[in-house]
Structure 1
Amino acid sequence: MLTRLKTLPRDARDTLFLLTVIAWVLLPQVGNLPLWCSALAGAVLVWRGWLAVHARPLPGKWWLVALLALTIGATLTTHRTLLGRDAGVTLLVVLLTLKTLELRARRDAFVVFFLGFFCMLSNFFYSQSLLTAFSMLVGLMGLLTVLVNAHLPVGKPPLLQTAKTAGWMALLGAPIMLVLFLLFPRLAPLWGVPADAMTGRSGLSSSMQVGNIATLALDDSVAMRIRFEGGTPPQQQDLYFRGPVLSNFDGRNWQPLRAFLPSRYALPANLEVAGAPINYEVTLAPNNQPWIFVMEAAPQSPELPGYRNVMDADLQWFTNRPITDLVRYKAQSYPIFRHGPRQQVIGLQEYVALPPGFNPRTLALAAEIRRDPRYAAANARTLVQVALERLRTGGYVYTLEPGVYGQHTADEFWFDRKEGFCEHIASAFVVLMRALDIPARIVTGYQGGEANSVDGYWVVRQSDAHAWAEVWQTGEGWVRVDPTSAVAPGRTGAFQRLAAPQGVVAQALGNFSPTLTAQLRATWEAVNNGWNQWVLNYTQGKQLNLLKDIGFESPSWEDLSYVLIGIVVVAALVGAAWTLWDRAQHDPWLRLLTRVRKRLDKAGIHSTPASPPRQLAQEVLNRYGQQGKTVHDWLLRLEQMRYAAAPSSGNQGTQQLRALRQEFERLAWPA
């Protein structure tokens, strides 16, 4: 294969290199593009490569028009529009690949290059990870190489030399890139919005459907990273990060009550905190939801620049717009707290409501408990312990593969299957509490996490998503109850997680050395965290903090603009000084001769850079006769200084050249 490539003409090899670079740039997009688009792009690139290898003519214009019309129709059918992120990227990929079929001139090549640059940037609509950035850096070097190669004579220099030139160009541009990154004003997020596709995977949603998912896939992606003040995390039982509170139940689906209940009937938060607060900083991954996750409970708004935050009556913090990019905020939480009304109010009736016709056996179980003389007059605290004891001793199992539940999800859990993950357990528990006429609701969020041994951050993953219950008790308000801990204490106590299935390589490494696997993973996540903290999360606040570090007391946008303009001016002055210095390094004798040629050109005596002063002197004499004798003699002396048997050197030569330059200024040029 390599031998065959070496025998190909240079232009064919350059075309194959360009096609390889385009394929590299488009490869990360395969999972985001429609199947037909990925197949078409691959087929067109292979076809174009085959045409280059076999020196076949490119397809005619009508072929390209037909393919373009077909792909526009397919894009419109797939996305229902030609606008927007997904449709735009699809069309961009189509245009790039089809343009390779008309690479007939340098102009066509330039169009392909710049479409390639746009396609490279579109990868960041879907992922801004370190791996994506590295792969696109490789693609950038490839595109720069083919761009430099297009400006050089065909077949020269070797491709490796062209790549070195492109590398030097990138290095020369790196300082400019760094300055712009540090000081250019932070604008609104450019990158696309992550899709909310949590169905069948661990993670959070704005509602919870019980029993529809037979198998829950653990998603090990990072939901947020936390740095606790002092580096020491709180007690394990306190690591509850509050999300949506679900109170309305239709028999299968749990949703927030505020969607069904007018705000005037909402219960007051009545949040009271006690004890020492915990200060921490959260780096939250995009979730396409207006939710801010904080440890229970945070009475003060998290410090999130650029967002307006508000806490609802359920203690959940919201922002004024969805979190579509990586954000970082500081928060303060109190593990000791209580909230909600302390005495019976009308609004609590909504938290004992159950849909008619569902879970008759659970209702019968509640009636049986109430008929027991021991619990006839029992309070909520006692009845909660009765339910938890049943979970501990009744043979219930925490599993990610409970199968699909039927209509009566609580009945199946309590009496038939006796297995499920946290949503089954929490839902069945809350249904039983409501059947006992005890106000109860479901709280979703994240529970637990793990410490990264490399950078010290606490990592909370999508697999740490959790559902627990809150039960209302007289005189105390809402009290957290985690029924999953009664079934599987390790889930919320010792952080014994159900492990996500591993790939072949990860499994082999784990069998060989579990410690090495854990260390590699921790190192990689620490590197990614550094990328997130210092690149993706380089915010407006960090820019202003940078100005503080260089001496500004109260930096503002005006100061940032002044610094950026100052750097641009200084860079321009340095560039001008370098240009003057570079010009000074050129031969002053040649510069003087160039001035002579320009002056003679105005007089109608044209010459080339190869014309010596003697030839110019003869042409002056031929045209002007004795009127040009002074110029003729001056040109001969200029040539003698350079090409005499013993030419002047050192200070003597410098003085002679200065005298000739001054005489040149006083020469009487013939009319």
Structure 2
Amino acid sequence: MRLPLLSALARLPREARDTLFLLAALAATALPHISHLPLWCSALTAAVLLWRGRLAWRGAPLPGRRSLLLVLLLTLVAGWASHRSLFGREAGITLLVVLMALKTLELHARRDAFVVFFLGFFLVLTQYFYSQSLLTALWSLACVWALLSALVLAQMPVGQPHLALAARQALRTTLWGLPIMVLLFLLFPRIGPLWGLPSDAIGRTGLSDKLQFGAMSEIANDDSIALRLRFEGARPPGAQLYLRGPVLSQFDGKTWLPRSDKGTAIGMPEAARLAVKPEGEPLRYEMTLEPLRLPLLPVLELGAEAPGSPLQIDELTLTRDRELVWQADRPITERLRLRQRAWLQSSSGVGARPGDLAPYLQLPAGLNPRLLDWARTLRDTKFSGDQQAGAEQLAGALLDHIRHGDFIYTLAPGRYGEVTPHALDEFWFDRRLGFCEHYASAFVIAMRAMGVPSRLVSGFQGADAELQDGDVVVRQSQAHAWAEYWAPGLGWRRADPTAAVAPERVLRGQVLRPPPGLLAGALGQVDPQLWTRLRGAWETLDHRWQQWVLNYSRGDQFRLLEQLGWQQADWQALGQASAAVIAALASAAALWSAWSSRPHDDWSRQRAFIVRRLRRLGLPAEPHQGPRQWTEMLRLQYGDRAAALAALLLALDAERYGPAAAPAPRWGWGWRWRRMFRQALRQARTPD
């Protein structure tokens, strides 16, 4: 039994049905942009499409130009108010969405429909400004298919063709163009993006060159993948997976900031003092990093490169600063894949001087007096007098206090510093509720109060327990903050207060999570691991899409050329290969056009063969004529000599146009019929 809505659609006139289908395709095309558009733009677009659908359903006339001009003027004013410009990426997409919707209100001719089609195709491309995932690719492919189907419908002016017929034709056309698309993808020179992703002040990973006190809890809701690791050999334990990101040393009581002089030039003597001293064998791994939108690169612990050492990844240049953080010359807005080495037991900054360490002893003026007094009292009771042993003793005493001091690790501690400016005092003595950032911040300030240089480090810690396609997966929700303190003769040492209050977070990578959503909760009731397995399977597919398609680079193109036989794979060879492919495609298109212009059914091909042969005989034969007309020409010019040829043509006429016409010639289109026709032609040419 058909649904009432489908029955009503089937009874609509063709113009109304085609318009509703086009509006549905446009709505699907605009849907991925809703979260990136101003609220007024989404509401106006939905209102215009619904209004146009109502007019099509009722067969009502379209609005006048004055109404459209008024809405257009309001759109320009609202666009300027939202973006302070009518140009640029965000403003351009906003206007494109609204103009595409408004254009549907003046579909007076096929030309107007074609404008809407191509606006829709262009809007599909803009989806990739926000995401290049496999889901985005599948959705855009469905939108293109729908728009192509609407375009095919517009090219069928007669009758009322079924929607399925147009969809099949659009799919067939797409499949014919698929090999060309693949060839161009493989060989077309890779060019930098025309539009760059913005450099946000705080990346979506929670890593940044500044950190608001208590802000890292927001990333617990983001379970997307931050990076993947593939180790050469055994996977290290989860407690050793510290991916070091920004180092923050300046604290004003609310916000952590990096050293103000971290980007100044580094001389050779200073670089030697701050360099890494590797110990043991290095751990080699390959990392696939998602776009951070920040000019830094988190890596696993420390490499052997000294401060100031450059690293080139494609067109991105990175340099290690004073705090051994990889700083990029521009925000990382593309997915990166690189190989690295790490020494998990390495030390750094052993030869640091007092001038190097002074920034790591600064305290926010006039803040947190209770914590400072408490730390100094702890120093007076625990300090042994040995500077090297003293730093480790004080760090151990702090960790013991956190471990046994009734502290609770939670993502919902509430806001600190709303009642009093002494946020760390409130955390350390009053509530004792917090997550990694709270504990690391209190640890660093307490160590500084005891005269030990310390700093806060943010990055990622831990990974998923299960491998995905052979890779160790690190998620955004595994962002973490810990501390480093400096000990004479040992250099910088890592201390993670979170491991003291919540060892399961560090040892087993069990991050705190918010309550699951509706879908995840429902699947969890059926099978607790079902949602995790489904998510892992989808992420594996998306990762392969990224590796095989999105990460296909110039280097991959050059390697492909080498496999195809080019001795020197470079830009010139790539241009030659591209030119050869384009020439081959153009030749194939010309041959296809020539072949398509020829008749392909039996009767048409036989008629063309007869016309060519009769013209060689000197007769003015034309394709629109029939066998009887050709027979009369033969008798007038050749008389009885053409009797056999005339009989052959009359037999053909009887089979083709007689009362019991056969579906195809009796002799078919084989060599026997051709031989009989050629013999009759020779007989007609031979004089008596």
Per the shorter chain, which TM-score range?
A: 0.7 to 0.9
2:481 aligns to what SS in structure 1? Answer: strand
1:642 correspondence with 2:649: yes
Distance 1:299 1:662 in 2: 92
Give the equivalent residue in structure 1 for 2:15: 11
Letter in 2 for 1:534: W
Between the two proteins, the alignment pairs up a number of residues equal to: 651
User: Cα offset for 1:634?
Assistant: 13
| TM-score, structure 2 as length reference | 0.86
1:415 correspondence with 2:429: yes
Pairing of 1:314-333 with structure 2 (within 5 A): 314-333=323-342
Pairing of 1:47-446 with structure 2 (within 5 A): 47-190=51-194, 193=197, 196=200, 203-211=206-214, 217-230=220-233, 232-258=234-260, 263=265, 268-300=273-305, 304-342=313-351, 344-372=353-381, 375=384, 379-406=390-417, 407-446=421-460
Contact 2:199–2:294 (8 Å) recurs in 1: no
2:274 aligns to what SS in structure 1? Answer: coil
Contact 1:398–1:421 (8 Å) recurs in 2: yes
Give the equivalent residue in structure 1 for 2:662: none
Contact 2:382–2:394 (8 Å) recurs in 1: no
Contact 1:441–1:470 (8 Å) recurs in 2: yes
Give the equivalent residue in structure 2 for 1:602: none
> Aligned pair in 2 of structure 1 residues 274, 658: CA closer, same or farther (>3 Å)?
farther
Give the equivalent residue in structure 2 for 1:569: 583
Letter in 1 for 2:80: L
Letter in 2 for 1:313: R
1:468 aligns to what SS in structure 2? Answer: strand
User: Cα offset for 1:333?
Assistant: 1.5
Aligned Cα RMSD in Å?
A: 3.5
Letter in 1 for 2:225: V
User: Cα offset for 1:571?
Assistant: 3.7
1:372 aligns to what SS in structure 2? Answer: helix
Contact 1:438–1:471 (8 Å) recurs in 2: yes
> Aligned pair in 2 of structure 1 residues 631, 293: CA closer, same or farther (>3 Å)?
farther
Distance 1:634 1:503 in 2: 91
User: Cα offset for 1:213?
Assistant: 7.9
Distance 1:62 1:193 in 2: 38
Give the equivalent residue in structure 2 for 1:512: 526
Letter in 1 for 2:253: G
Distance 1:539 1:80 in 2: 36
**Which has the larger displacement, 323-332 or 373-382?**
373-382
Give the equivalent residue in structure 2 for 1:626: none
Contact 2:220–2:476 (8 Å) recurs in 1: no
User: Cα offset for 1:215?
Assistant: 6.7
Give the equivalent residue in structure 2 for 1:624: none
User: Cα offset for 1:362?
Assistant: 1.6
> Aligned pair in 2 of structure 1 residues 552, 608: CA closer, same or farther (>3 Å)?
closer
**Which has the larger displacement, 125-134 or 148-157?**
148-157
1:364 aligns to what SS in structure 2? Answer: helix
Letter in 1 for 2:211: M
Contact 2:238–2:463 (8 Å) recurs in 1: no
Letter in 2 for 1:49: G
Distance 2:624 2:142 in 1: 44
1:556 correspondence with 2:570: yes
User: Cα offset for 1:501?
Assistant: 2.6
User: Cα offset for 1:253?
Assistant: 1.4
Contact 2:220–2:514 (8 Å) recurs in 1: yes
Give the equivalent residue in structure 1 for 2:661: none
Distance 2:514 2:200 in 1: 20
Contact 1:240–1:295 (8 Å) recurs in 2: yes
Give CA-to-partner distance per residue, 1:596-649, whole Å, 9 cap, x none: 9999xxxxx9x996454876999x99xxxxxxx869999999987634579996
Give CA-to-partner distance per residue, 1:524-572, whole Å, 9 cap, x none: 1111111111111112222222233334454222222223333333344
Pairing of 1:485-496 with structure 2 (within 5 A): 485-496=499-510
User: Cα offset for 1:2?
Assistant: 2.2
Distance 1:598 1:143 in 2: 48
Distance 1:419 1:633 in 2: 115
> Aligned pair in 2 of structure 1 residues 580, 68: CA closer, same or farther (>3 Å)?
closer
Give the equivalent residue in structure 1 for 2:660: none
User: Cα offset for 1:236?
Assistant: 2.2
Give CA-to-partner distance per residue, 1:65-119, whole Å, 9 cap, x none: 1111110111111011111111111011011100000111110111010000011
Contact 1:304–1:329 (8 Å) recurs in 2: yes
Give CA-to-partner distance per residue, 1:342-374, whole Å, 9 cap, x none: 254322122111122111112211221233275
Contact 1:30–1:38 (8 Å) recurs in 2: yes
Give CA-to-partner distance per residue, 1:213-232, whole Å, 9 cap, x none: 887643111111111224x3
> Aligned pair in 2 of structure 1 residues 343, 307: CA closer, same or farther (>3 Å)?
closer
Give CA-to-partner distance per residue, 1:491-511, whole Å, 9 cap, x none: 111212112331112112112
User: Cα offset for 1:271?
Assistant: 1.4
Distance 1:434 1:441 in 2: 9
1:149 aligns to what SS in structure 2? Answer: helix
Distance 1:282 1:373 in 2: 42
Which of 506, 513, 523 matches 1:499? 513
Give CA-to-partner distance per residue, 1:412-456, whole Å, 9 cap, x none: 222112121111111111101111111111111111111444412
Contact 2:412–2:434 (8 Å) recurs in 1: yes
| TM-score, structure 1 as length reference | 0.88
Distance 1:98 1:631 in 2: 71
Instruction: Specify every segment of 5 or more residues in structure 2 that has no aligned partner in the other structure, as ranges.
Output: 656-665
1:479 aligns to what SS in structure 2? Answer: strand
Letter in 1 for 2:252: D
1:241 aligns to what SS in structure 2? Answer: strand
Letter in 2 for 1:236: G
User: Cα offset for 1:653?
Assistant: 5.5
1:444 aligns to what SS in structure 2? Answer: strand
